[in-house]
């Protein structure tokens, strides 16, 4: 029984070590990568996989929320809100926002966007929000929520096809790559040491 436990422990340590090391290397690459200026990109230049940085100057509101789950059961707390933002010359896309840390700021910008651009009840433009993250392609369900929201906002099917880019930005913090790499290497080394020690005892 003890041997089985040791075997499982070695496997777990090696897998965790490899995962942390791989994630750390990925974050290191992203941290040293020069991001594209989101505000300078044209409609056709925006592609999945791009690291972008810029200012969000308006948003049309949230179109989807993501919940945390426990063994497949939806929890009450919302993890992410997805908002519609203008990009390029005349296109739109989504942005995933942490509901706890950034949700209130984006909700406030939504109100300011409608007050300034549509209701013209103020001459103060919306506050800008900084973003640095990676562009990803929406999956089928997310894209359906997104298109439904655009349609409810008054976009026609042809306008959605033309202006509604099926992408979203995920905020990224890649500054902890060194810690991840060191932790991954340390855990991986511990797993290897256990393998060597148990083999020598045989």
The answer to whether the beta carbons of residues 140 and 130 sit under 8 Å apart is no
Strand order of the sheet with strand 62-70?
A: 36-37, 51-56, 129-137, 164-171, 91-98, 73-87, 62-70
> What global pTM score does this model have?
0.73
- How do residues 12-68 score in pLDDT, each as one tens digit? 778 888 887 786 777 666 666 789 999 999 999 999 999 999 999 999 999 999 875
Tokens standing for 130?
Answer: 């900084």
pLDDT at residue 128 greater than cutoff 80: yes
Q: Over the Cα atoms of the chain, what is R_g? A: 22
Contacts of 131 (CB under 8 A, 6+ apart): 38, 52, 53, 54, 55, 56, 95, 169, 171
Give the residue extent of every domain in the chain.
36-171
Q: What share of the chain is helix, strand, coil (3-state, %, to 5)?
A: 50, 30, 25
* Residue 86 and residue 169 in contact, taking contact as beta carbons nearer than 8 Å: no
Give yes or no for a contact between 38 and 87, defined as CB atoms under 8 angstroms apart. Answer: yes
Question: How many other C-beta atoms are found inside a 10 Å radius of the C-beta of residue 191?
Answer: 20
Taking each helix axis as running N to C, give the angle between helix 2-31 and helix 177-201, from 0 to 180 degrees, rounded to the nearest 10: 150
**What percent of the chain clears pLDDT 90, i.e. is strictly above it?**
56
Tell me the pLDDT tens digit for each residue of 72-89: 555 556 689 999 999 999
Q: Which token pair is 40?
A: 């300078």
Look-up of token digits 């990224």: 172
Tell me the CA end-to-end span of the chain in Å, nearest whole number.
Answer: 16
């Amino acid at each position: 029984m003890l041997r089985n436990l040791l075997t499982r422990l070695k496997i777990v340590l090696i897998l965790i070590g490899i995962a942390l090391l791989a994630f750390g290397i990925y974050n290191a690459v992203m941290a040293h990568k020069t991001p594209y200026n989101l505000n300078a990109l044209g409609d056709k230049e925006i592609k999945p996989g791009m690291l972008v940085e810029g200012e969000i100057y308006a948003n049309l509101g949230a179109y989807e929320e993501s919940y945390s789950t426990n063994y497949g059961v939806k929890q009450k707390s919302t993890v992410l809100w997805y908002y519609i933002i203008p990009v390029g010359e005349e296109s739109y896309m989504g942005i995933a926002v942490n509901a706890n840390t950034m949700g209130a700021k984006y909700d406030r910008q939504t109100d300011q966007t409608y007050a300034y651009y549509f209701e013209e009840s103020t001459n103060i433009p919306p506050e800008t929000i900084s973003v640095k993250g990676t562009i990803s392609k929406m999956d089928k369900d997310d894209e359906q929520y997104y298109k439904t929201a655009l349609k409810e906002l008054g976009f026609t099917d042809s306008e959605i096809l033309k202006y509604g880019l099926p992408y979203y930005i995920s905020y990224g913090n890649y500054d902890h790559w060194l810690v991840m790499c060191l932790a991954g290497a340390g855990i991986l080394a511990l797993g290897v040491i256990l393998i060597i020690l148990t083999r020598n005892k045989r």
